[in-house]
């Protein structure tokens, strides 16, 4: 086999890898792990399913004629999903409108998440934010920070119906206890290197606009910004990332 022949075979394998990665290694229907982990051997337990069937029976064509198609090409990655064998069998036999619609919405959510992950790489955050992250991570609960008055908290004005009540409460609490402290830490960074805070604020604002443009609602945006900080900055602490996103809501980079 010439090297170009072996290259031609690769896309199928690569698409399998991409689809396995897309579902995070678990069946998106039943959460069963899609790779068995033997001592020295891993066995693939997934199958690649066509969401719209690749050679539909006449009754399936009629059944799905008014349904949304994720791609004109049935073999496109957009029309494929990794499933465990059992869920694949149930999905295909018999095909139902409900089953089809459910699989379309599962795939769309997976695509939305993959797109977000790819956007982390394109949107960096200056390393100086790590100074603030490591200070916040040291918080013991004993420190007395200057609290922000309830009247000064802006989230109620900025929130729309898509921001969940519980999340709004969390943002308020974070802003109340941590806003002034973080603001003064940014001021310290600016003393060492002027415009550090402006640079980070601009990066957050730019990513916020991208998420807005992609159609995310406010609850989804909070979660996407938190994941971005967790993964793009050196922040392994979810609570710290949430405190920072809350800070950026109050500081007008987010939801503005
Ligand atoms: Zn399954």
Q: Compute, in angstroms, the gap from residue 95 CA to the centroid of ligand 1.
A: 16
Residues of the chain with pLDDT under 50: 1-10
CA–CA dist 84, 104 (Å, integer): 17
CA of 32 to the centre of ligand 1 (A): 6
The CA angle 247-116-12, to the nearest 5 degrees, is: 165
The predicted pLDDT at position 7 comes to: 41
- At residue 241, the pLDDT reads 97
Largest CA distance in the chain: 73
Gap from CA of 33 to ligand 1 centroid (Å): 8
Give the integer Cα–Cα distance in Å for 171 and 185: 19
Could you write out the DSSP letters of every residue in 109-158?
HHHHHHHHHHHHHHS---TTHHHHHHHHHT--S---PPPPPGGG--HHHH
| Predicted pLDDT at 11 | 55
pLDDT at 13: 82
**What whole-number distance in Å separates Cα of residue 235 and Cα of residue 227?**
10
Q: Is the pTM of this model over 0.75?
A: yes
Contact 153, 178 (CB under 8 A): no
- Give distance in angstroms: CA of 106 to centre of ligand 1: 13
| CA 195 – ligand 1 centroid, Å | 51
Cα(123) to ligand 1 centroid in Å equals: 34
Q: How far is the CA of 26 from the centre of ligand 1 (A)?
A: 8
For 129-150, what is each residue's pLDDT tens digit? Answer: 999 999 999 999 898 899 999 8
Determine the distance separating the centroid of ligand 1 and the alpha carbon of 72, expressed in angstroms: 26
Q: Taking the domains of the chain in order of start, what are their residue ranges?
A: 3-121, 123-250
What is the whole-number distance in angstroms between the Cα of residue 99 and the centre of ligand 1?
13
Q: Decide: 171 and 155 in contact? Cβ < 8 Å.
A: yes
**C-alpha of residue 14 to centroid of ligand 1, in Å:** 21
- pLDDT score for 5: 43
CA 91 / ligand 1 centre spacing (Å): 10
Nearest to 250 by CA among 217, 222, 216: 222
Give distance in angstroms: CA of 180 to centre of ligand 1: 48
Cα(182) to centroid(ligand 1), Å: 45
Question: How far is ligand 1, taken at its centre, from the CA of residue 103, in Å?
Answer: 12
């Amino acid at each position: 086999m010439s090297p170009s022949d072996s290259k031609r075979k690769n896309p199928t394998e690569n698409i399998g890898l991409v689809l396995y990665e897309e579902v995070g290694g678990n069946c998106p229907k039943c959460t069963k792990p899609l790779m068995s982990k033997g001592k020295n051997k891993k066995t693939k337990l997934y199958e690649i399913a066509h969401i719209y069937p690749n050679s539909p029976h006449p009754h399936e064509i009629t059944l799905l004629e008014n349904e949304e198609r994720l791609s004109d090409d049935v073999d496109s990655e957009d029309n494929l999903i990794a499933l465990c064998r059992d869920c694949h069998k149930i999905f295909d036999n018999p095909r139902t409108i409900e089953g089809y619609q459910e699989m379309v919405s599962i795939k769309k959510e997976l695509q939305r998440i993959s797109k977000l992950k790819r956007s982390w790489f394109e949107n960096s955050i200056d390393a100086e934010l790590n100074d603030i992250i490591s200070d916040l991570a040291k918080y013991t609960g004993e420190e007395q920070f200057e609290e922000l008055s309830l009247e000064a908290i802006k989230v109620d004005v900025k929130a729309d119906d898509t921001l969940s009540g519980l999340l709004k409460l969390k943002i308020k609490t974070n802003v109340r206890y941590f806003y002034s402290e973080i603001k003064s830490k940014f001021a310290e960074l600016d003393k060492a290197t002027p415009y550090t805070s402006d640079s980070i604020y601009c990066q957050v604002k730019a990513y916020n606009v991208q998420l807005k443009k992609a159609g995310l609602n406010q609850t989804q945006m909070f979660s996407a910004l938190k994941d971005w900080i967790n993964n793009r900055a050196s922040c392994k602490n979810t609570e710290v990332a949430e405190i920072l996103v809350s800070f950026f809501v109050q500081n007008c980079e987010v939801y503005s």
